[in-house]
Structures are given as structure tokens and as C-alpha cells.
Structure 1
């Protein structure tokens, strides 16, 4: 029995076209060079390699996100067109600590750290809100956890889908501090809260 596809054919086509456009458009002059420069084809191979590596990373993070959202290996395998076992063998544990926190300060004077575990895409922001009110701020993350560090003031945290460069600059101009490089499809930010406000 076949299941209904999650993406419509036109959505699949748009994704494929966007990836091809990014591979051809990101390196300066690549598309134009293919008409006259044999070296351009080696640049195309390199750009395609980078695109494939990024697509593979996004897939790993998307699978971890689906697992963090409570989906079974069986459900993930069905979407990928493989068995539960094949999906689990390929993706379980890979990237489990994709954004570890930097080492805590040395000695007894270093800041206190703790791990908020058992988190999912649906409860992580509530856990960070509570921790932030108590003076903890995020310093690292991965699937099912956030690493937080104690401070003497409250913090707020936000999570947005991967922002454009303009939105990222606007967030920073509003005092938001990016945490890590993002965990597809999310980018995390934090900022201290003025205790008087």
C-alpha cells in the first residue's frame, strides 16, 4: 500500500531548481565560464561537491529533528524509502553533538554549566524560557539537549528558521547573540534581559 507523498511534484521541482541555481550561482562567474573555460567544469564539480555535502548535512539534521519531534525510525525510513533498520543504521548517533558547548572555565571560578535533556522541537523553547528566567543562557545544543551556563542575570532565547543575511543582521542589531551555526532548520539566538524591565 503506497502512502501519499509529503511533497507535491511542483515543490520537489522547486527544491531541485533552487539547489541547481545555488550550485551554479554561488561561485562568481561559474555559469558564464562554462561556455568558454574548461577549468569552469572543475569549479562546477567542486561547487556540486559542496552542495552535496551540505545537502547530506541538512538531511542528517532533518532526520535528527524528526526524531526530536517524536517520529519513529519506521516513519523516517518510510519517508526515505528505506527500512527502519537502514534509516537507524545510517543516521542514529551521527551528529549527536553537532554544536557542543565550549569547555567551561577552568578551576572552581569557572561558570556553572548544565544540560537540559529530553528536549524536542515542541518543548525546547519552554525549557529555555524557564532556564533564562533563572539566569541560565544557552551555549551549545544538539538533538534532544541544550547546554546552558549560569549567569547573574535573566536571558531570553529565540529560535527562527534559518534567517536571511539581512534578518540575521537585524537580529544582531536588536541585541540578539547567535548561538552556534544553527541546527537545520533552526537558528538560535539569546540576549540578556534588563532586570529592571
Structure 2
């Protein structure tokens, strides 16, 4: 990697403005309340806290995504402006607990589960397609793995970038089922094969 910045100043400014606009705009009436209500500033602190926590979570998932795409801890550290060791210490230990997973059903008739691993950002959808053809559907995921559960029919899976809100709504109308809250930058969906043909 050369020393050129990955983002241009205008892109950085858009990200910063977008975060500020979301923090001010998501809570109903927050921006207007700051003109006349001291309590609004406490709501602003709370909204900013949520924004900071979400930005921290997205950064953790983005780092794991870069690792899943084959980038070294040294490369990730360079982008973050820290050493390889500092990047690894900060992000490696938190990866396993970060991914969503549906709780397993207990009992003798419980569906079977298995973990698809190791996976990368470039082969995970191929692995899910193969598993889906065999009747396995996605129930959880994290860095380098997907957890699938057995069923009696084939499934199809897809992933969509977070930013496409209207597309997410349309997909759900078409029978796609969201799996978990997403693993930045992707949201994952599944549906039984054939359901889309009926929609």
C-alpha cells in the first residue's frame, strides 16, 4: 500500500456530515429543541453516545471484513495509523463474540447445525449457495464463518450493502428473510427456493 490516502477530503467531509445529520435528525425534534430546551442537549449527548457506539461497532466489523478479504494486520494497522500489534490487540479478541447467531433449539428433534469456516468475503456466498442447495439455511455469522441449520428444502441466500434501505424493504416484500442485524458492510438474507417465483 502506498502513502496516498484511501479517502479524498470531500469523501471524509461527507461521512462526517452524514453522521452529524443522523445524530441530529434521528431523534424526533432534537435539532429544533436545541434552540429553546436545555433538556435537548442531554438528548443530543445520548444520541451522540449511540452514534459513537455504532461507529465503534462498524469499525470492528469493517476491520474483520478487511481481514476476511485477505488483508494482514500490518495493512489494517497502517490504515488505522497504529502498529500491527495495536490493531490486532484492539480488534482480534473481540471478533468471536461480535457476530449474531440464532439460539439453538434444544431437544432430540432439534435441527442439526454446522459451521462453514474458514470463509472470506470472496467465497462466503459460494459456500452459502452450495449449503442452500443441500437444504441448509443461514442462522448466524461472524468473522470467517457462517452457521447454517438443516431443513427439508433448498434455500437461496444473498447479501446486500447496508446503505440500500429501499432495496431492503423491497426484498422483504419479495419473501427474503433478514438474518440477524448484519455484519458491516453486509446484510444477509435467505428464502426457501421457489418462494421468489410466487411473489
Matches of 2:165 and 2:18 in 1, distance apart?
A: 17
The answer to whether the 8 Å contact 2:98/2:142 transfers is yes
Cα deviation code 1:29-84 (max 9, x no counterpart): 11111111111111111111111011000000000110111110000000000000
Aligned to 1:179: 179
Cα deviation code 1:66-121 (max 9, x no counterpart): 01111100000000000001101111121323234333332221111100001010
The answer to whether the 8 Å contact 1:133/1:156 transfers is yes
The answer to whether the 8 Å contact 2:112/2:149 transfers is yes
- Secondary structure at the counterpart of residue 97 of structure 1: helix
Matches of 1:28 and 1:105 in 2, distance apart?
A: 39
Matches of 1:100 and 1:29 in 2, distance apart?
A: 32
Matches of 1:163 and 1:4 in 2, distance apart?
A: 26
Aligned to 2:118: 118
The answer to whether the 8 Å contact 2:99/2:143 transfers is no
TM-score normalized by structure 2?
0.93
In the TM superposition, structure 1's runs of 4+ consecutive aligned residues that sit over 4 Å from their partners are none
Matches of 1:23 and 1:100 in 2, distance apart?
A: 25
Unaligned runs of 5+ in 1: none
Aligned to 1:66: 66
Aligned to 1:24: 24
Matches of 1:194 and 1:106 in 2, distance apart?
A: 29
Unaligned runs of 5+ in 2: none
Aligned to 1:81: 81
Matches of 2:72 and 2:96 in 1, distance apart?
A: 17
Instruction: State the aligned residue count.
Output: 196
Matches of 2:97 and 2:50 in 1, distance apart?
A: 22
- Secondary structure at the counterpart of residue 58 of structure 1: helix
More helix by share: 2
Matches of 1:93 and 1:63 in 2, distance apart?
A: 12
Q: Does 1:3 align with 2:9?
A: no
Q: Does 1:38 align with 2:38?
A: yes
- The CA RMSD over aligned residues, in Å, is 1.7
Cα deviation code 1:115-167 (max 9, x no counterpart): 00010100000000000011110000000000001111110000010154432
- Secondary structure at the counterpart of residue 36 of structure 1: coil
- Secondary structure at the counterpart of residue 170 of structure 1: helix
Aligned to 1:153: 153
Matches of 2:5 and 2:72 in 1, distance apart?
A: 18
Aligned to 1:98: 98
